């Protein structure tokens, strides 16, 4: 009998946490990276986009390949590539080289995020899968709490280079864990065919519900990352805050996202996806609107900015679990292809949002909060379009009917 640490959920979640570390461990280090390479804030932030673009592009191939070859070998050796790129990134001589390593990191780390959804869908029925999707979201957000605090401490007291060294060590352990304890979960292998893969993607992309249900959480996450990465420059450069102190504010915002993600599995079970998504949207919109309103009408403080944006993150946690589980269940395509398409859309939108926010806003926090509020309005419109597709009943209500 497997122990908890070698059980399938834990093996998957540990790999997912490493992928998240690659994106958020060094966010508090961005000002240090910009200073080290003597470059602008906007250019330094492209290291985030580089990793997301690498992850997004590879998922288009990874999904259909995993439906043909299986999940295990792709996930294991992608983690090895991720590990090697992390060690090499620590010795980057130029910012362009660091961007290239971040791109390769994205390719290697993409498998954990994409295939975690497919492996869960392979292994568990819809009701239990929705709970594990919530655990995936919880793992992501708990990692987002821990990673910036660790990165902030290392940037303040050691060096940003050691963030990548640490990431290499952690992913090495993750690779060993996957190699020895990850089983193959694909029950029916299908021959790989580019034509079939393209047709599967076409069947997804022509579905308005799939597109809308993929876009809404992706835009929410994009706004979340864009806000926090820009806030690092505002707090550290603008207010003279240390990287470590900023990371504590960042961790506080992430905590409420992690808490709502953790609770979302139980909430979905008792309320159903539709009520859960409605509740999450209400909290999300409230947080985005308060953030914009308070920065518009008066002086702002780090506590005010962090607390209002924490509501945004809490709403995101509820919406992500409810909408993603429904999107996976309603898809006509194989689970690997479906999760790859979702991850590709998510990565493209997140990197686009980060890039747009970096180059269109001025240095004021009001400009940043205005950008977030525009995203909130867009997500509201998308949600109103697909809300009728969400399952209205909880599993308990279905079992009693």
Q: How many angstroms separate the CA atoms of 70 and 235, rounded?
A: 45
**Does the pLDDT of residue 2 top 60, yes or no?**
no
**Are the C-beta atoms of 7 and 123 separated by less than 8 Å?**
no
Give the N- to C-terminal CA distance of the chain in Å, as an integer. Answer: 36
Q: How many angstroms separate the CA atoms of 348 and 357, rounded?
A: 14
| Residue keyed to tokens 């602008």 | 40
| Residue keyed to tokens 């409810």 | 322
Provide the whole-model pTM.
Answer: 0.73
Q: How many angstroms separate the CA atoms of 43 and 19, rounded?
A: 23
Domains of the chain with bracketed CATH: 9-180+207-393 (1.20.1250.20)
Closest CA to 67 of 202, 189, 204: 189
Closest CA to 55 of 350, 321, 324, 257: 350
* Lowest mean per-residue pLDDT among 213-227, 234-248, 273-287, 385-399: 385-399
Tokens of 38: 């003597």
**Does the pLDDT of residue 109 top 90, yes or no?**
no
State pLDDT tens for residues 35-81: 899 988 778 878 887 888 888 778 778 777 887 888 888 999 999 99
Using pLDDT thresholds of 50, 70 and 90, give the confidence band for residue 92.
Answer: very high
Q: What is the pLDDT of residue 399?
A: 44
Q: In terms of pLDDT, which residue wins out, 324 or 82?
A: 82
- Cα–Cα distances (Å) from 369 to 242, 301, 348, in that order, read 22, 13, 22
Alpha helices in 272-364 (DSSP H): 273-297, 302-330, 335-360
> Taking residues 337-360, what's their average pLDDT?
80
**Are the C-beta atoms of 58 and 85 separated by less than 8 Å?**
no
**Are the C-beta atoms of 291 and 308 separated by less than 8 Å?**
yes
Angle between helix 273-297 and 365-386 (nearest 10) = 160
Using pLDDT thresholds of 50, 70 and 90, give the confidence band for residue 154.
Answer: confident
State pLDDT tens for residues 377-392: 999 999 998 888 887 7
Q: What is the pLDDT of residue 398?
A: 43
3-state helix, strand, coil in the chain (%, to 5): 85, 0, 15
Q: What is the pLDDT of residue 127?
A: 65
Q: How many angstroms separate the CA atoms of 42 and 34, rounded?
A: 9
Alpha helices in 124-207 (DSSP H): 126-157, 161-181, 194-205
Element (H, E) at 246: helix 243-271
**Are the C-beta atoms of 225 and 48 separated by less than 8 Å?**
yes
């Amino acid at each position: 009998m497997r122990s908890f640490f070698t059980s399938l959920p834990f093996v998957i979640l540990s790999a997912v946490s490493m992928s998240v570390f690659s994106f958020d461990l060094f966010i508090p280090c961005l000002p240090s990276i910009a200073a080290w390479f003597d470059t602008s804030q906007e250019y330094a932030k492209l290291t985030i986009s580089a990793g997301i673009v690498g992850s997004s592009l590879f998922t288009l191939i990874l999904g259909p390949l995993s439906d043909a070859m299986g999940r295990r070998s792709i996930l294991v050796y992608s983690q090895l590539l991720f590990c090697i790129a992390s060690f090499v990134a620590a010795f980057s001589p130029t910012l362009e080289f660091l961007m290239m390593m971040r791109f390769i990191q994205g390719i290697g780390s993409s498998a954990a995020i994409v295939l975690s959804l497919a492996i869960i869908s392979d292994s568990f029925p819809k009701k239990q899968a929705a709970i594990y999707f919530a655990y995936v979201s919880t793992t992501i957000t708990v990692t987002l709490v821990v990673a910036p605090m660790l990165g902030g401490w290392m940037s303040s007291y050691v060096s940003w280079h050691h963030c990548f060294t640490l990431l290499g060590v952690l992913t090495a352990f993750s690779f060993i864990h996957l190699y020895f304890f990850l089983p193959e979960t694909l029950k029916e292998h299908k021959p790989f065919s580019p034509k079939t893969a393209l047709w599967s993607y076409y069947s997804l992309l022509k579905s308005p519900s799939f597109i809308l249900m993929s876009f809404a959480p992706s835009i929410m996450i994009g706004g979340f990352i864009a806000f926090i990465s820009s806030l690092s420059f505002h707090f550290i450069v603008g207010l003279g805050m240390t990287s470590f102190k900023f990371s504590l504010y960042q961790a506080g915002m992430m905590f409420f996202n992690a808490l709502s993600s953790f609770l979302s599995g139980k909430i979905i079970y008792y309320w159903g996806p539709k009520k859960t998504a409605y509740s999450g949207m209400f909290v999300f919109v409230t947080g985005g609107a308060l953030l914009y309103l308070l920065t518009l009408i008066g002086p702002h403080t780090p506590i005010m900015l962090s607390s209002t944006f924490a509501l945004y993150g809490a709403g995101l946690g509820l919406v992500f679990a409810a909408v993603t589980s429904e999107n996976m269940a309603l898809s006509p395509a194989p689970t690997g292809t479906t999760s790859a398409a979702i991850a590709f859309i998510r990565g493209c939108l997140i990197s686009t949002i980060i890039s747009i926010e970096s180059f269109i806003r001025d240095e004021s926090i009001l400009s940043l909060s205005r950008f977030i509020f525009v995203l909130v309005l867009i997500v509201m419109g998308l949600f109103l379009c697909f809300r009728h597709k969400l399952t209205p009943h909880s599993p308990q209500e279905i079992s009693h009917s």
